[in-house]
A and B are shown apart, each in its own frame.
Chain A
Amino acid sequence: MALPSLTGKSLRPARPLWAVCGEKMLELLIRFCGVSAIIFVLAIFFFVFKEAAPVLWSKNFNLTQFLCSPEWYPTSVSNVRYGVLALIVGTACVSGLAVFLAVPFSLGAAVFISEFCGPKLKEVLKIVIELLAAIPSVVWGFIGLTVTSKIVQQMTGAPVGVNILNGGIILALMCVPIIASISEDALKAVPDTYREAALALGATRWQIVYRVLLPAAKNGLLAAVLLGVGRAVGETMAVLMATGHAVNIPHGILDSVRTLTANIAAELGEAPAQSEHYRILFLTGILLFFITFVINVTADFVVRGIRQK
């Protein structure tokens, strides 16, 4: 006697048509959500590029001059020049200083929160750090303009308080919560067995952090730092207000600069639509896009490289 269940389709409970279709629809929807990020990024890149593209083929435009000249005179009457070198240097200086200041603080905070402090303090610290991340950037800019710039001016004797140092400090304060909370997650993710094994071998707490946890969590920590860099490069409002807004190749950290982002924010409103100036600003946007893209890709490769070892 053959078992009917092996061949008989009729024995399998048939699902109603709406359930089958519904599942397909849901699957499609989720699939769409999954790829929508890619679609958005590509679409935005396409539209920004579309606005910028005509200038690339205009005879007034010279890519070498655009990238290598510090002379930014978009509205000049006699001699219009579009050189963004000073802006690139400004972005690099402010972001570099910010990351330099933020990394030790935030990694220290992460190590303390995840390894050294008690559960109650831990909760408080985590909430406060998240609160720090929630402060809007224009408020940071306001603090930079009115509070820290005065302190910087008094402490350093700089002629003007709104400068790279001031912008760097404000930006560092903005990066710390991001780097700290992600680093803390990375440290927390190291299995407790590692800690137990190290303790059993007689390691001190410092040795555990230095020799076991940091190497084990280095991918996550690197990701946290690069995320901080991304934030620093892309930040607009705070640096617009805190860095002095001067097109200038700086000679020290007490000089004022202007960043790529601040320049777009300050000038796009008045640039007549479709004009050369307008298109150049979009081109600056592409440049910014490119910089963050390179940072992300580099990060990916670095993380992958570490993983393979």
Chain B
Amino acid sequence: MTTTTISNIRILSGAANCLIASLLLAGCGGKGGGTARKTTIQVKGSDTMVNVAQAWAEEYKKVSPGVAIEVSGGGSGVGIAALTKGTIDIATSSRNMKPEEIETAKKNTGKEPKEFIIGYDALGIYVHKDNPLTEITAEQIAQIYMEGGKVTKWSDIGVTIPGGAGDEIVRVSRQSSSGTYEFFREHILNKKDFKLGSRDMNGSKEVVDLVASTPTAIGYSGMGYNEPGKVKMLKVASKPGQPAVEPSVANTLDKSYPIARSLQVYSLGEPTGELKKYLEWSMSDAGQKILEACGYVPLPAAARTK
């Protein structure tokens, strides 16, 4: 009697397990239906930019109390995917939209995505604070991260990690929905693939956190996530023999830092009404000051809105 009850329970919850797993699938696969309401602006996308998007949203409450701005991260790819389905108003992205994504957006929503560059970011190469390394070449980074790359130990590039923490390089990377991931792959790995076995973190901050707690780690993340005293950003030389350049605002603007990128937002069609006001505000002096305070590189004065 009891055994039957128990095996029934088991079968039922086995089914429940499957149900949950599949509901997860079905739920993610379904198309969300929300559209823009009058006073809510939905922003989604880049984890690199989620800090500044949130700071903007909070500050904008004071500027225009009638407008609520909802910000979520997930990665540039997630934001762009949501924009192409028409479920959000603004996608933030640390990479450019691909032609096929623009096509999908046009097909689904009938509107062409419009791009606005709202700032710049230098991609920092982070190591643990005890790592004696101070500079690295782009080629060395590629050899560490690339599939088939030869550098797997710190001693391969002449570094000894103090404290006997080991020699194996712990590669910290991002999950594939990240714009930073794609930017890194395009500009450092030359569109080749990553070596398998890297720790693929969900967010920019998690990369820095993991590097901070792992003496043998190396990671890449936006320079806004630097935590001096816990991690160290390396100077990067574009080629061996050339001077290594520090990631800084000035070096990003004059393009001497080799792995810098623009940060952009996308809207569906020409923005109007509150959305337009918000975007203009974010590109104005007030908005750019917040962006700079978050650790990114602001637009040059000429590119700002008045």
Contacts and interface: CB of A to CB of B under 8 A. Distances in A.
A153 interface: yes
Contacts of B18: 41, 44-45, 234, 289, 292-293
B191 A74 contact: no
A269 B87 CA distance: 13
Which of under 10, 10 to 19, 20 to 34, or 35 or more describes the interface residues of A? 35 or more
B22 A79 contact: no
Contact of A245 (B2, B19, B200): B200
A289 B22 contact: yes
A160 B21 contact: no
A298 to B, nearest CB: 11
Interface stretch (B76-84, B111-119, B233-241, B287-295): B76-84
Contact of A268 (B25, B168, B214, B217): B25
A230 B81 CA distance: 32
Interface string B146-169: 000000000000000000011010
B170 A160 contact: yes
A265 B20 CA distance: 12
B6 A223 contact: yes
Interface stretch (B26-34, B62-70, B259-267): B26-34
Contact of B197 (A159, A247, A271): A247
Nearest to A161: B213
B177 interface: yes
Interface in A35-53: 37, 40-41, 44-45, 47-48, 51
B6 A219 contact: yes
A94 interface: no
Interface string A223-266: 11011001100101000100011111000000010100100111
Given A162-B199, A230-B14, A292-B17, A74 B176 contact: yes
Interface stretch (A55-63, A119-127, A181-189): A181-189
A272 B101 CA distance: 9
A296 B14 CA distance: 7
A292 B16 CA distance: 11
Contacts of B9: 182, 223, 227
A269 B81 CA distance: 8
B176 A296 contact: no
Given A159-B214, A159-B216, A37 B15 contact: yes
Contact of A160 (B7, B75, B210): B210
A268 B199 contact: no
B266 to A, nearest CB: 15
B38 interface: no
A307 B29 contact: no
Nearest to A240: B202
A296 B200 contact: no
Interface in A129-178: 150, 153, 159-162
Contacts of A72: 196
Contact of B196 (A71, A162, A270): A71
Interface in B160-217: 165-166, 168, 170, 175-177, 182, 185-186, 191-193, 196-202, 210, 213-217
A288 interface: yes
29 contacts: A40-B15, A48-B25, A70-B196, A75-B176, A75-B182, A76-B193, A77-B185, A78-B192, A150-B213, A159-B168, A161-B213, A162-B210, A185-B6, A219-B7, A227-B9, A227-B10, A230-B17, A236-B24, A240-B202, A245-B199, A247-B200, A265-B24, A267-B175, A269-B177, A281-B25, A282-B25, A289-B18, A292-B18, A303-B7
